[in-house]
A and B are shown apart, each in its own frame.
Chain A
Amino acid sequence: MTELDRKKEQTPVPKEWAYAPAPESRDVVSIEDRYGHFVGGQWLEPSETYTTISPATEETLAEVGQATPEEVEGAVAAAREAFENGWSGIAPAERAKYLFRIARILQERSREFAVLESLNGGKPIKESRDVDLPLAAAHFFYYAGWADKLEYAFPNRRPRPIGVAGQIIPWNFPLLMLSWKIAPALAAGNTVVLKPAETTPLSALLFADVLRQAELPPGVVNIVTGDGRAGAALVKSEGVDKIAFTGSTEVGKAIQRELAGTGKRLTLELGGKAANIIFDDAALDQAVEGIVNGIYFNQGHVCCAGSRLLVQESIYEPVVEKLKRRLTTLRVGDPLDKNTDVGAINSKQQLDKIRELVEAGEDEGAEIYQPPCRLPEKGYWFVPTVFTNVAQSYRIAQEEIFGPVLSVLTFRTPEEAVEKANNTPYGLSAGVWTEKGSRILWMAERLRAGVVWANTFNRFDPTSPFGGYKESGFGREGGRHGLEPYIDFDGSEPNGG
């Protein structure tokens, strides 16, 4: 008997290959029973409240304010006051230092924020820990350095702050979207009224404590919570000079209509239906990981998710087979468990929307695949889903599902891939998988999308501009270009007016 065989015999064979639970401790974050609005550096008692829950358990986490139009106006007035009486006059190098401080505090408190983000939003802790938090801190760090270098970013244009920015952010990356909005706004010298999403207010409310620690002057950042009514009040407020919105295309259009003729500045980061395009020379195992990351990352609650898989016909079968096999290994469950790959759907409302579109896909004739999967009894869950046999006209190939649902289509030539990829009203992102560098660039030239990932997907960086073509919105976040929406120039204005 060889040494190896002897060892094999002595080693007990486990009966099942299940992971032991590895939950992250909830104790690192303390949640108040009740939160008000953060206005002028003070917590204001809200006149109306609602409860925010954990979508994984449906347990109540806290009571938070539902801002009335008057309360929103109060926040706008505080932001105006801070802009006129101080913030815009602070030396840019000092402004930078506040942002550096915020970045550092976020790094120090990142465990706490990551747990809170997963609790309130349902996303897996390994994503909030490894993606949301490091990127949020990096955004503040990146824009901090711009604060006293704006004239180098925009030579001969005499950049000035706009004034009060009203910012409305979504529930899929609550703290990260907060940082994408607040960091460039403050770097450019503006003050802010931020409204987090209805279902995920807690990390923004905890961020108020970061502002306290950073000793940011009162009123420079104000946070009001509530549903769409609070957002609408912010959009309508006459004291706001600029609106930045990330969310659905439907709401984005409503905001654009509302602001028509007001002369207010607007940037929109809206929906998507991104194509993830796999050529037959791609490294298939790597591509399959990219497909999975493209659509199941953050339960598919990603505006730039690779929700349409375009596979070259010659490799259709191996790709779909590998993909299905990979799906059986995805762990769906407790967002706070460090082994979880796919967490909870953010809300009942979103779960209903996903179910409706998946039913439509089945009704229209697509073939559905869902791996065997035991879902928790409480909370909102959806099994990672793949649709094959999908026609371009199906709703699941045209509409944004914003859930863990992938539609697979095929193509033969690069031209056909481009045509199909561009065949939606959206244009936020696209993915290309091939070992041929010249083909990557050929495709990138032709894809009508603001971000093109090659041999990767859903990758972000504070230096890399992000934003859409067509009905995916206008304006960029990230990079030097991400400053522009928050700056007034002498002479004419850039994109978005």
Chain B
Amino acid sequence: MADRLPVKKTYKLFIGGAFPRSESGRSYEAEGQNVARASRKDVRDAVRAARSALPKWAGMTAYNRGQVLYRIAEMIEARGSEFAELSTGLDEVEHTVDRIVWYAGWADKLAQVLGSSNPVAGPYFNFTVPEPTGVVAVVAPDEPPLLGLVSRVLPALTGGNAVVAVASETHPLAAIELAEALATSDVPGGAVNLLTGHRDELAPWLASHMDVNAIDVTGADGGSADLERAAADNVKRVVRGNPDTQSPWEIASFLELKTVWHPVGQ
């Protein structure tokens, strides 16, 4: 009997909770597969999807957001062997799962660690609270393909931001697998959008997009000077991170601080 011919997957983008083909109709070959090559138009669609998902994601209770993040870890653990094949191995997958669990636990602690109440002179209760910056663009590092992406996306997401991420260009399959895990998790559609394609085609549009509030340039090629320069057009927050790190200060990079003067009186 002849070997069964496997049914191959068409690798698509992940925008607004759906899996569209690239508007460009183009693909490129990576890891032996044809992968969607996102265009400027796809970037714009993804930013729009992120902006509309923002109120729902940012408006969730911190407790809920933590649970939703924890659910992502469950979904990845359940697909452990598939992720292991698409990344550097099971070790990377386990690290990724643990990192997500770690961030999930931060969601309802940020305000306590990063905020403050301030003893001002005068009859006011004055307090400072962290809030999401808004729409965050992430230029993910090429490697590690799964852990690198998750390490950069999770801090922004934990803080209540909506994310548009450009996946590893050389190893995009883990990102697409992640999109499928996200789609079956409880993350609202559009809170995370994943684009595959050529980084040097996509990142500049994200850097100069006027409705993106912050950009993580950790995975930028050959220095991030051009992206940082474009980011100044609307005073984006620019984050230069590490492909493998976890810290509450990573989350803080994607937060604004709001200070409120509340009157005190009879």
Contacts and interface: CB of A to CB of B under 8 A. Distances in A.
A454 interface: yes
Contacts of B196: none
28 contacts: A253-B233, A257-B229, A259-B228, A261-B225, A262-B225, A449-B258, A450-B257, A450-B258, A451-B259, A453-B261, A454-B262, A459-B120, A459-B261, A461-B122, A461-B126, A465-B116, A465-B128, A470-B234, A474-B237, A479-B259, A480-B116, A492-B247, A492-B253, A493-B240, A493-B249, A494-B252, A496-B238, A497-B237
Contacts of B242: 492
Interface string A462-497: 011111011111101001110000000101111111
Given A260-B225, A263-B240, A464-B118, A444 B260 contact: yes
A156 to B, nearest CB: 10
Given A268-B235, A441-B260, A495-B253, 15 more contacts: A253-B232, A256-B231, A260-B231, A260-B232, A261-B228, A261-B229, A437-B262, A440-B263, A444-B258, A459-B124, A464-B120, A465-B257, A479-B128, A491-B245, A496-B238
Contacts of A107: none
Interface of B: 116, 118-122, 124, 126, 128, 133, 213, 223-229, 231-235, 237-242, 245, 247, 249-250, 252-253, 255-263
Contacts of A463: 118-120, 126
A283 B120 CA distance: 23
A158 to B, nearest CB: 12
Closest 8 interchain pairs by CB? A261-B225, A260-B228, A256-B232, A461-B120, A260-B229, A463-B118, A455-B263, A257-B232
Contact of B122 (A270, A459, A495): A459
B223 A492 contact: no
Interface residues of A, number: 53
B213 A495 contact: no
Contact of A491 (B119, B225, B237, B247): B247
B128 to A, nearest CB: 5
Nearest to A472: B235
Contacts of A425: 234
B239 A497 contact: yes
A176 interface: no
Contacts of A453: 261
A496 B261 contact: no
A253 B128 contact: no
A473 B223 CA distance: 23
Interface string A420-445: 00000100000000000100110010
